[in-house]
Structures are given as structure tokens and as C-alpha cells.
Amino acid sequence: MQRNGFKYANLFLMFLLTLFIFSLIFQIITHTDPVSLSTNIISPEIQFAIRLSLLTSVISTFMCILVAVPVSYSLARYDFHGKAIINTVLDLPMALPPIVAGLGLLLIFGTTSVGSFLADAGLKFVFTVPGIIMAQFAVNISLMLRIMRSTFESINPRYEHVAQTLGCTPFHAFIRTTLPLSKNGMIAGSVITWSRGMGEFGAVLMLAGATRMKTETLPIALYLNMSSGELDLAIAAATILILISGITLYLFERKGGVAKLY
Amino acid sequence: MIEVSDLSIELGEFELESINLCVKEGEYFCILGPTGSGKTILLESIAGIYKPDLGSIMINNHDVTELLPKDRNISVVYQDFMLFPNMNIRDNIGFGLKYKGFEKLEIADKVERTAELLGIAHLLDRHSSTLSGGEKQRTAIARAIITEPDLLLLDEPLSALDSGTKSRLRQELLRVHQLKKTTTIHVTHSFEEAFALADRIAIMHGGKIHQIGTPDEVFRKPNSAFVADFVGVENLFHGTSVIRDNLSEIWANGLTIISSTLKSGNVSVSIRPEDILISKDPIDSSAQNSFSGVLTEITRMKSTVNLVIDSGIPFRVVLTKRAYDDMGLYVGSWVYLTFKASATHII
């Protein structure tokens, strides 16, 4: 009897939590009727936000891949002094609140000579679309690094050794063996990075600002419309973000493989 | 010819200290040592994976110390096969030829012939995950020898295989070596393996080479306590075997030893010291092997006594302390040895 009581108490709490999460999603989706939901989704403002979010998150994901592959390869394969410190620094953005990272970015690009040099060269990040991409990159790179690092660590370096003895340069050996073998980790990392880029709010708000129809990504659209009382538009943006989360979770479960997320 | 001179390297917790080696053209050379002795690092340094801190490596009179692995004309076979999982067997075997500038047709032809040599021609279109351990290692060997390297490096190539496959593949390595005469360095922790394969052996421990010699020299005249301990007290010797009446008769240094393992030709034989019975008078038994000889060495261990008895071949025998005391033996005693045909293993 006592054993059953314990079991049912645990199960009850589990069902309660499931119900809680289900209802918060259900509330958003059912708050407006399907007709007005679809009208709001095809409204110019939400269409703009979808396109901008897609564009910026795809670009920032590619940037994350390009940087994460060589950097995480270094962390996985080479031994050097200060590796532990570098590792901690590179992991930091993952633990840092995005809004704090955004503040740092704003200070770098808005107040330093590096920032003004880049601005003079035509690369303006403050309150611009490139700023959105930079903010997404800065917040998500740590996660990509971790996934790629554990992926590379799970691949025996001897594949490359064999390829090198058979005529490959070190770079070619990597391209022919380790890189194709890291496909699943790279897909998993890209999906999660892309999805977090779509949803990134705090850092984007700080660096790129929240300007309607200019730097208005989906989360910014949600925030702007909530502030101005346009609940239906906010819900349209939220519904799309929910949809993306669902797709991401599904893809990640299927392609996750060796890459462990947290 | 391969010459390693004063090679030193430090890699994390591993270290090689002033290694000197010379491997002759066409020689089968074994580096023997326990786990962690640095033998794989030595092999990978010769391959060019690691750059030595000091010293030089010469292959056929060319200094390759500063060259990338691809420019050394060498091949490596690892214990865990390392077949590229993103390619089928055909592409695995042909991998090296693509980088050496061979035409497609030529590659296809060479792959076919090399696969036939290793008995894996029927597996060419399969994926490596569907192969057995022995088939995988044959593929790895094919991939290594197809480029006709000046030096073949084998890192514990038999260690991941079950015992039956191991002995078949050992024969295969010998056969391929006799056919191709490729200079080979084979790293292993099994003395038995080195004894059966090597022209010469280097014993390695703690990042240093302790002794280099023929298998017999290293086994009969270990130059340090470590080498003696590592090669063990097994009785090992080479002989010529013929099969007669469902038994092998092995002729070794004037003795004819009977074994129940059936194998003919040049063989290596092992007999465990505790399987040999010794007595002061000849004994009448069903055991097929019975010899006599002079007791030449007595070593007292904790609970046992190790004896060496010379009857043409020096036999190592282990006795309990009690049995030794009861027999009243001394160096120079004439004793009789008896052991069964089933205790004589051909490796």
C-alpha cells in the first residue's frame, strides 16, 4: 500500500507537469480562431519577421559551422598550454544571459575603435540586420562548439593517420575521413543552432534594437506587438516559433547521435 | 633500410628516449613491449604522425625526419582496422592509389589483384560494418600493401582477433611478406607472435629499447631482468615438422619431439614449463616425449623453483619448493624429462 502511494504520487506529479506544459502551448495556439490566426500569419509584418528570422538564422548558423569546425577540432585534437582556460571562456556564452552578451556586443561595436573601424569599412552592426546575425552568432557559437567538439572527440584520429600515410595532406585527410564521419553531429548542431537563432531575443534586442519592419525578427515581433496591445499578431509570431521548436526537437532526436546537448 | 638515430620525443605522459634502430631491407622486424612502453608512439613517429624533438629517421638513405607521412612511402595497419566507414571495401583498398596518380582502370585492376592475394575478392562491394574481424584486417592489410610501400608498419595487427583467426592471419602475414619482401616493422606485446614472425626483435620498455636480436638470442640470452621476465619462462624453439600417424614429428636441434597439433614445415613450438615432469630415473609412461639432460641452472622464486635442463635444447621446468627439496637436485645433475604430445603446442 505504502509502495503504491509513493508510485502514484510520483506519477501524479508527472501528469500534472505534462498537462501544465501542454496547456501553455495550447493556450497560445487556441487563443485566436484558426481563421484570424492564418490572416495574421500572412500579414506583411509577420511575413517580414518570418523572412528576416529565416535569413539571419541561416546565415548565423553557417557562420557558426565555419568557425566551430576548426576551433572545436583544435580543442578535440591538440594539446596546448591554457587549453582549460580557453575552453571555459569559449563555453561562457552558453551560461551567460543573452542580454548580457548583447550589452557586450553593443559596447564593442558601438564604443571601441574596432567597432568604428568596421563601421567605416561598411560593416555596421549597431541597430542593423548584420547586428542580428552577429548577436545570434555570439550567443550560439558555444553550443555549436560543444556539439562539434564531442563529435570530433568521438572519431578516432587514426582514420586521419591512415589517410595521411596513404597520400593525403593533413587537410585532405580531415576532409576525406573525419569531416564525413562528423555529418550527424554537424546536422544536429546546425538544427539546434538554427532554431535558437530563430528564437534569439535578448542579444538581438541589445545590439540590433527593435525597429518595426527593419530589425523585426519573430521574437522581436512578438515583443513589439505585445507592448502595443496587438495580441493577435504576437500570437501569430509565437505560433510559428512553437512550430519551429517542434520540428527542431524531432530532427535533433533523430540526428543527435553521439552529440550530447548539455 | 630504415635507420632511426637518437630519436627522442615527449608526448603528454609518454616519452621516447634516444631510440636507435636499424631495420634491414626486406626484414621482418618486431618491436615487443608491454602496454605503455611507447612502441606505438615509436611506430607513429616513424610514420611521421609525430615530429620528434631530437634525432632522425632515414628510409632507404633519405632523411624523412621533416617529411609529411604522405611523402615517406610507408603504410600503417592498426589493431582496430581503421577501415573508412564512409566507403565500401573496394574504395578502402584503392584509397592510396588515387593519391599516387593512378588511372581509374589501373586502380580497379590493382584492387582486384590485391584483394585476391588476401582472399577477400568476394567482399569488394560490401560495407566494412558487415565484415568479420579477420576480413577487416585483411582489408586493412590490402589497403596498406597496394601502394607498394618501402616500409610497412603494423601496430598490434592481430591483437583484436580471436585465437583461430589470429593464427590464420599470422600465417597470412608471413606469406605476404615472403611474396612481397616489404620491409616490415610489427609492434606487439605478444612474445609468441614476435617469435613466430620476426627476423629480429627489439624489446621496448619505458620509452627505451632494452635489447635487439634474433628471437632466439633475445629468448635464450636476455640482457636484463626485465627482458627475461617479459619473455617469460615458456619453452619456445623453432623446428621442422612432418606429419606421421596423425601426430607431428618436430626435428629441433637433434631432438625429435612429438606434438598432437598437426602442422608441417618450419614451425615454432611452445611447451609450458609446468607441463614437463622431471625425474632422476627414466620413467615408464604413456607420454610420447622423454629426454635426458644436465641441470644447468637453478633459480629460487617465492614458492617455486625454476630449472633449466640442457638436452640439446635448454628446457625450462618449474617445480614446487617441496618437490625440489625432496629430489635433492644440484647443478650438474643428470635428469629425465617427460611430457605429453598434447602439451607440445605448435604456434
In a domain, A22, yes or no: yes
The closest alpha carbon to B70, from A198, A115, A233, A172, belongs to: A172
Taking residues B252-276, what's their average pLDDT? 88
Q: What is the pLDDT of residue A260?
A: 44
Do A167 and B98 make contact, defined as CB atoms within 8 angstroms?
yes
Split into its structural domains, chain A has a count of 2
Do B99 and A166 make contact, defined as CB atoms within 8 angstroms?
yes
Q: What is the dihedral sign for C-alpha A222, A227, A229, A230?
A: negative
Question: Are A24 and A64 part of one and the same domain?
Answer: no
Distances from the Cα of B242 to the Cα of B83, B247, B263, angstroms: 39, 8, 7
Question: Are A158 and A243 part of one and the same domain?
Answer: yes
Chain B: give the shortest CA distance to residue A254, in Å.
Answer: 19
Looking at the DSSP bridge assignments, the partners of residue B269 are B237, B346
Cell numbers for B237:
624453439
In a domain, A261, yes or no: no
pTM of the full structure: 0.81
Between B9 and B236, the more confident residue is B9
Give the DSSP H or E segment for B21.
strand B14-23
Taking residues B334-346, what's their average pLDDT? 90
Question: Are A40 and A24 part of one and the same domain?
Answer: no
Whole-angstrom distance, CA of residue A145 vs CA of residue A71: 7
End-to-end CA distance of chain B: 29
* Ramachandran bin of B25, using left for φ above 0, alpha for ψ from -120 to 50, beta for the remaining angles: beta
How big is chain A by its Cα radius of gyration, in Å? 22
Whole-angstrom distance, CA of residue B311 vs CA of residue B37: 35
Q: What is the pLDDT of residue B154?
A: 97
Q: Which residues of chain A have pLDDT under 50?
A: 257-262
Whether B80 has its CB under 8 Å from any CB of chain A: the answer is yes
Window 112-171 of A: residues touching B by CB (8 A cutoff) are: 156, 158-159, 161-170
Question: Are A26 and A133 part of one and the same domain?
Answer: no
Structural contact between residues B190 and B18, judged by C-beta atoms closer than 8 angstroms: no
* Beta-carbon count within 10 A of A163 CB: 26
Taking CA atoms, what residue in A is nearest to B95? A166
Q: What is the pLDDT of residue A261?
A: 44
Helix residue ranges, H only, B59-118: 89-99, 104-117
Looking at the DSSP bridge assignments, the partners of residue B312 are none
Q: What is the pLDDT of residue A259?
A: 46
The one-letter code for the residue type at B5 is S
Question: Are β-strands B151-155 and B183-188 bridged in parallel, bridged antiparallel, or unpaired?
Answer: parallel
3-state secondary structure of A98: helix
Question: Are A125 and A206 part of one and the same domain?
Answer: yes
CATH of the domain at A88: 1.10.3720.10
In a domain, A48, yes or no: yes
Whole-angstrom distance, CA of residue B30 vs CA of residue B189: 10
Q: Which domain holds residue A26?
A: 1-30
Question: Are A43 and A22 part of one and the same domain?
Answer: no
As for the ipTM of the complex, it is: 0.79
Whole-angstrom distance, CA of residue B140 vs CA of residue B96: 12
Whether B143 has its CB under 8 Å from any CB of chain A: the answer is yes
Whole-angstrom distance, CA of residue B115 vs CA of residue B123: 9
Band the pLDDT of B274: cuts 50, 70, 90: confident
Whole-angstrom distance, CA of residue A209 vs CA of residue A131: 9
Whether B186 has its CB under 8 Å from any CB of chain A: the answer is no
Whether A77 has its CB under 8 Å from any CB of chain B: the answer is no
In a domain, A262, yes or no: no
Q: What is the pLDDT of residue A124?
A: 92
Question: Are A137 and A119 part of one and the same domain?
Answer: yes
The closest alpha carbon to A142, from A191, A189, A73, belongs to: A189
Q: What is the pLDDT of residue B303?
A: 80
pLDDT digits (tens, 9 = 90+) for B227-261: 877 877 678 888 899 999 899 999 988 899 999 98
Q: Which of A27-31, B1-5, B76-80, B113-117 has the lowest mean pLDDT?
A: A27-31
Distances from the Cα of A210 to the Cα of A47, A198, A227, A241, angstroms: 16, 15, 12, 18
Question: Are A214 and A133 part of one and the same domain?
Answer: yes
* Residue keyed to cell 566551430: A68
Structural contact between residues A204 and A219, judged by C-beta atoms closer than 8 angstroms: yes
Question: Are A219 and A110 part of one and the same domain?
Answer: yes
Whether B343 has its CB under 8 Å from any CB of chain A: the answer is no
- Residue B223: phi and psi, rounded to 5, are -95, 5
Whole-angstrom distance, CA of residue B128 vs CA of residue B117: 18
Question: Are A152 and A231 part of one and the same domain?
Answer: yes
In a domain, A244, yes or no: yes
Question: Are A7 and A70 part of one and the same domain?
Answer: no
Burial of residue B247 (number of CB atoms within 10 Å: 0-12, 13-18, 19+): middle
* Residue keyed to cell 522581436: A220
Q: What is the pLDDT of residue A1?
A: 61
Cell numbers for B287:
607420454
Whole-angstrom distance, CA of residue A77 vs CA of residue A178: 11
Q: What is the pLDDT of residue A164?
A: 96
In a domain, A84, yes or no: yes
Give the DSSP H or E segment for B155.
strand B151-155
Averaged confidence pLDDT in chain B: 91
What domains does chain B contain, in order, with CATH numbers? 2-231 (3.40.50.300), 235-346 (2.40.50.100)
Helices (H) and strands (E) in chain A, counts: 14, 0
* Residue keyed to cell 629425465: B336
In a domain, A70, yes or no: yes
Q: What is the pLDDT of residue B233?
A: 60
Give the DSSP H or E segment for A161.
helix A158-165
Q: What is the pLDDT of residue B238?
A: 86
Whole-angstrom distance, CA of residue A136 vs CA of residue A52: 13
Looking at the DSSP bridge assignments, the partners of residue B141 are none
pLDDT digits (tens, 9 = 90+) for A182-229: 998 999 899 989 999 999 999 999 999 999 999 999 999 999 999 999
Q: What is the pLDDT of residue A253?
A: 78
pLDDT digits (tens, 9 = 90+) for B158-193: 998 998 898 889 989 999 999 999 999 999 998 888
In a domain, A260, yes or no: no
Q: What is the pLDDT of residue B8?
A: 95
Band the pLDDT of B19: cuts 50, 70, 90: very high
Chain A: give the shortest CA distance to residue B49, in Å.
Answer: 7
Taking residues B205-227, what's their average pLDDT? 86
Question: Are A142 and A65 part of one and the same domain?
Answer: yes
pLDDT digits (tens, 9 = 90+) for B42-84: 999 999 999 999 999 999 999 999 999 999 999 999 999 999 9
Between B295 and B345, the more confident residue is B295
Q: Which among A155, A165, A171, A174 is the top mutation candidate for probing chain B, defined by the most B β-carbons within 10 Å of its own β-carbon? A: A165
Q: What is the pLDDT of residue B221?
A: 78
